[in-house]
Structure 1
């Protein structure tokens, strides 16, 4: 079957239906991923125990911090490929694809080694209590062995999405996710393993999704076809990917660093608070990934149209994706919050854990549209080729603000979980406003520039 069936021309035609057609499979992919991650949490919480649930949840911020640099490079790869695709530059497109795959291989091996070496000292420094630390280290070391598969999937998906194909990454995620659920049940319920069983299930499923993506690229009949013997880092696309991807990755690391600080503060309240926080993060993730789909859509659409120098269309993309993300965040956030009592019972029957989870959700879900709007503006700036700008803004608006908040308001004024969680919406609002101001300056500059 021809790859053209899956591709999309983002530079012409009615815009909003194409935005929806692109974003919907992305949202479904994200929700599927969370459902499968939720299966990890549910199986651990129901069949292993509170400490195991806390152990898995407490590793999230650290895992994200470690892998975010190369996740940022996958974003850079997607922007560069989309730019080449929109401009019709076939040779540059070919070199960008092969460079991206080589970067995913190098990144996968590097992160696996790094994660195995530093996991225990970092988790210990984050204040994991003794009844959780050993379980956290066991889980995370097995998880890091699966990082190459994760990066193959993310870089490969970025290539397909740059050409408008969001469907096949969704199909592959579904297949690997179903396998993950079955392996969770088999390893934990049937074989009696604990957090190690969940980690094994995750690793196997991530390698499957990575294989399916790479197989699709190798078998492709499109300009982004992957030829194994030509995989290497070409100079020009490597520079462009690094120029966009390193700031994008650093931005993700900045958010993860601030989240690690908040996670450490949560850890100081004990394993019950840690378990409640972990369950809440998983629940709110269903809204977050739906908004992230709009962010990825905005970035890819802007990038293709930037390559084609269609700035009036970029202005429409800006407006329509912002409207869409606000609707998604407000409707989705409040709907999940209203239903959170029933949803949380799937994760745990512990009343104290549920109480902590509801407290976090009451702050995050009711203001989540601000987070989505912040991300969309970041994606638009990145699609315009300005990746360092949202990195700097996010560093100030997210990391610095949250660190100052934790070290002042939380530490000296009111040491409660509510005081901790309120820093999230405040940082989103600050960062969104600054991103928006930057966008208007940049779009006015390009509008008058001769190409």
Structure 2
């Protein structure tokens, strides 16, 4: 049954029903995205140099994520501000921030495309990549750099829709991009033997294809809340507010990605098979983590609109509902995946040693999934309430204060070998939840849209 999204966010008495209705499309799209990553990995796993290619993709992601961090930060700020203005029934101000978000996304996306393409070789060498792994990573990273302008624009579109409670439209476009990506990946790798370049190119084309539709929907007069060319102006006051909220979130994403870059460099020192196994394990665990992340994004809009409408108790209840659903998904999903992990990992690699290492890693990843579901929900409530500085604190502390020092300690002062990495990850996830719980008590659920 189709319900008005504003009603679902602000008035629906059964918050579980509202959450499931709004989050289910995002969950399905994100699960499909995770399955798409597995399909990519499956085709790459059939290549003659599959271990090097998978290791190359694995070490590419932290640098790509650093550049995507600002896109995510802008999106988080957009959801926080726009949802609060919509909750307060001020559509004029909401449109100003939608336009500002779009302008910044286009400009920054183009700039980041050029920067990433230029610095990729030096960063990969800094990470210790060499030989075939370096060559594969460089091809993949430079190809994916051309995705940046389109990714930034679509992320802006997605943020504005989520702030309104429209989780369906971005999902439909994402599904189109993913299906196109899967088809092109199979075609480029299997038929045209384009290797890792084909995998990267298919992703760029898939993202590029949906951006014209997203822009049309943002400007179409058929839409209830639409932009015009006259709206495309930058007001210094609005820019200051948006950047003020965006920077902590972007900073947390960037610092986390930089930390993962260093983590990947440490893991690569254990050999390309360990790096490949780390990547494979994460792809399987994302089947659980991505739906939980979807709940966090819906929670941000839920909290933002209810804070704007000055309904503090409903905002708090939304967090509790999201937390309960997320923990249930991670626990049940973990119990389902654990006995199937060897079969799933076996589809992604034809190297027996990589498979065994990935099996070892998966045990610890699945064990900590409930903690990660709590982490994502704290991020959602912090971002939706405009307390993005708390998101920065927990994301940065998890990696830089706890995990990386522990990994270096395990590596240099113990004989645990690669197992030290898994232990450090478990400990960091546990400690950061205790810290996040402490910060949550400081959230006042008051509007952040005051002049």
TM-score (norm 1): 0.94
Deviations 1:202-236 (A, max 9, x none): 10001113222222222253453122453233333
Q: 1:372 to 1:220 in 2, by over 3 A?
A: farther
Which sits farther off after the overlay, 301-310 or 265-274? 265-274
Supply the distance in 1 between the matched residues of 2:4 and 2:320 (Cα, whole angstroms): 28
Aligned to 1:12: 11
Question: C-alpha distance in 1, partners of 2:334/2:255?
Answer: 24
What is the CA distance between 1:7 and its match in structure 2? Answer: 6.1
Q: Which moved more, 1:196-205 or 1:41-50?
A: 41-50
- How big is the shift at 1:258? 2.1
Q: d(CA) in 2 for partners of 1:117 and 1:151?
A: 19
2:301 corresponds to which residue?
300
Q: How many residues align?
A: 446
Out of 139-148 and 256-265, give the one that drifted further.
Answer: 256-265
Residues 28-51 of structure 1 deviation map (CA, whole Å, 9 limit, x = unaligned): 111111222222211111135222
RMSD: 2.1
Aligned to 1:164: 165
Deviations 1:389-419 (CA, angstroms, capped at 9, x unpaired): 2212332233221221122122211352221
CA contact (8 A) 1:92 1:237 kept: no
The alpha-carbon deviation at position 424 of structure 1 amounts to 2.0
* Residues 1:241 and 1:337: Cα distance change in structure 2 (over 3 Å): farther
The answer for the alignment partner of 1:270 in structure 2 is 271
Asked if the contact 2:307–2:446 (Cα under 8 Å) also holds between the matched residues in 1, the reply is no
CA–CA separation in structure 2 for the residues paired with 1:220 and 1:5: 20
Q: Residues 165 and 446 (structure 1 numbering): CA distance in 2 closer, same or farther, change over 3 Å?
A: closer
Q: CA deviation at 1:278?
A: 1.5
CA distance in 1, matches of 2:16, 2:28: 18
Q: Give unmatched runs, 5+ long, in structure 1.
A: none
Once the two structures are overlaid, the 10-residue window that deviates more, 81-90 or 406-415, is: 406-415
Distance in 2 separating the partners of 1:120 and 1:188:
24
Report if aligned partners of 1:371, 1:425 keep a CA contact under 8 Å in 2. Answer: no
Match of 1:282 in 2: 283
Q: Deviations over 1:304-360 (max 9, x none)?
A: 111111111122112111111111111122322221111112211211111111111
> Is the CA contact 1:298–1:318 (under 8 Å) kept in the aligned structure 2?
yes
CA contact (8 A) 1:4 1:222 kept: no
**1:67-104 residue CA offsets vs partner (Å, 9 max, x unmatched):** 21222111111211111111111110110110111111
Q: Distance in 2 between matches of 1:64 and 1:197?
A: 20
Q: Is contact 1:262–1:420 with CA below 8 Å preserved after alignment? A: no
Alpha-carbon distance in 1 for matches of 2:317, 2:200: 43
Unaligned runs of 5+ in 2: none
Question: In the TM superposition, what whole-angstrom CA distance separates every residue of 1:106-154 from its partner, at most 9, and x where no partner exists?
Answer: 1211211110111111111111232210111011001101111111111
Q: Give the equivalent residue in structure 2 for 1:26.
A: 26
